[in-house]
Every structure is written in structure tokens, then in C-alpha cells.
């Protein structure tokens, strides 16, 4: 028994050090060297103070800010510790009610807007933390933002274009805009 136990404990100790200490330290060190901002949480600063992360959405609700994608995380929206979707299918009554309520909120904030509501403004992403919206979602909100901020449509459109990102690698995904960066640009445009 002793002959079997000793090699097993030595192997256990070696694998523990390798997998739980050396490997995580090496990956973290490499990440800090190659992607320092991402490893630090992609924190966005304004006047030296953190205001959010460019990788995690925030719940903007004021009518003079662009609204991001809804979050399905619990117990509060955009909870980085509880990333995950609602897992509600398209025929789920709870999902249908939530979408109807979100459409009603968007229409109440901008009653004159007759455009079709982009789907990413009324449905949560798979992670529930999406910091970006489609260009269509940003353009949908443009009239409300321009009116609330007393800015011209052209000024708000220029901000959207300046802060938009194209497809990843030129072919993956859709053109999009980071909501936090866009709202910070709106604040700076006063």
C-alpha cells in the first residue's frame, strides 16, 4: 500500500503545482504582456476615475443616453458574475411579455419614432453582458438623443460613425458601436 500511495501523492503534488500555480501564472503573465488592458478588465476612465468596462454593458435608462442591449443576468442587469442568457425560447410567454414591455418603453421614450425597433434593443444576448449595439439600434435612438441633447441629427450621426466598429476581420459579425464609448462622447460633445 505504501508503495502505491507515495507515487500517487507525489504526482498529485506535482500536478497541483503545475496546473494550479505555474500554468495560471504563465497565462496571466503572457496576457499582461500581450493584452494589458484586457487582462486589467478593459476599465474605461474619465478624469482618472473608472466609469465602466468596454467589455461589459451598462444599464443606461436616461432618455438622453443611448440604451444598450437588455441583460438577462441575475440578480441585477449586467452582472459580470452571473453571465448567461435567459434560456427562454421564442414561444416562451415570459420572453414575449419582456419584449413587448421593452418595445413599449422605447416607444414611450420616443413616441414620434415610427421606425421598426431593432431586435438587439429588445432581446438579451447569450452572455447578458453585451456592451455593444448594432448600428441600426444606434440610428433608431438617434432622433431621441438629438432632441434630448439639443444636438443636430448630423452631430449625433457623426458621433455614431466615429465610434462604430466594422466586422471583425472584415467578415465576422455585424458593424456595431460600444454604448459606453458613445455615451461618453455625447457627454464630451456638450
**Does 81 lie in the same domain as 22?**
no
From the DSSP assignment, how many helices (H) and strands (E) are in the chain?
Answer: 7, 5
Q: Tens of pLDDT along 50-73?
A: 888 888 888 898 999 999 999 888
Residues 63 and 138 in one domain: yes
Percent of residues in the chain assigned helix, strand, coil, to nearest 5 = 50, 10, 40
Whether residues 35 and 64 share a domain: the answer is no
Task: Write down the residue that cell numbers 461589459 correspond to.
Answer: 56
Q: How confident is the model at residue 39 (pLDDT cuts 50, 70, 90)?
A: confident
Query: How many structural domains is the chain composed of?
Result: 2
36 plus 64 within the same structural domain: no
Grid coordinates of 122: 429588445
Give residue-wise pLDDT tens across range 157-167: 999 999 999 88
Rounded to 5 degrees, φ, ψ at 177 are -140, 140
Reading across the β-sheet that carries 132-134, which strands appear in turn? 132-134, 176-178, 164-165
Q: Which domain holds residue 6?
A: 1-40
Amino acid at each position: 500500500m505504501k508503495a502505491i500511495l507515495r507515487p500517487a501523492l507525489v504526482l498529485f503534488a506535482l500536478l497541483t503545482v503545475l496546473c494550479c500555480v505555474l500554468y495560471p501564472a504563465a497565462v496571466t503573465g503572457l496576457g499582461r504582456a500581450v493584452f494589458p488592458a484586457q487582462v486589467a478588465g478593459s476599465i474605461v476612465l474619465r478624469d482618472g476615475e473608472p466609469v465602466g468596462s468596454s467589455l461589459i454593458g451598462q444599464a443606461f435608462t436616461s432618455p438622453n443616453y443611448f440604451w444598450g442591449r437588455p441583460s438577462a443576468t441575475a440578480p441585477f442587469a449586467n452582472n459580470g458574475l452571473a453571465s448567461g442568457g435567459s434560456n427562454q425560447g421564442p414561444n416562451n410567454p415570459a420572453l414575449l411579455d419582456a419584449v413587448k414591455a421593452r418595445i413599449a418603453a422605447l416607444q414611450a421614450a420616443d413616441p414620434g419614432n415610427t421606425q421598426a425597433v431593432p431586435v438587439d434593443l429588445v432581446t438579451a444576448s447569450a452572455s447578458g453582458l453585451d456592451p455593444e449595439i448594432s448600428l441600426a439600434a444606434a440610428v433608431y435612438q438617434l432622433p431621441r438623443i438629438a432632441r434630448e441633447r439639443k444636438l443636430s441629427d448630423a452631430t449625433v450621426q457623426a458621433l455614431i460613425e466615429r465610434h462604430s466598429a466594422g466586422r471583425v476581420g472584415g467578415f465576422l459579425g455585424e458593424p456595431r458601436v460600444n454604448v459606453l464609448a458613445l455615451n461618453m462622447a455625447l457627454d464630451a460633445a456638450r
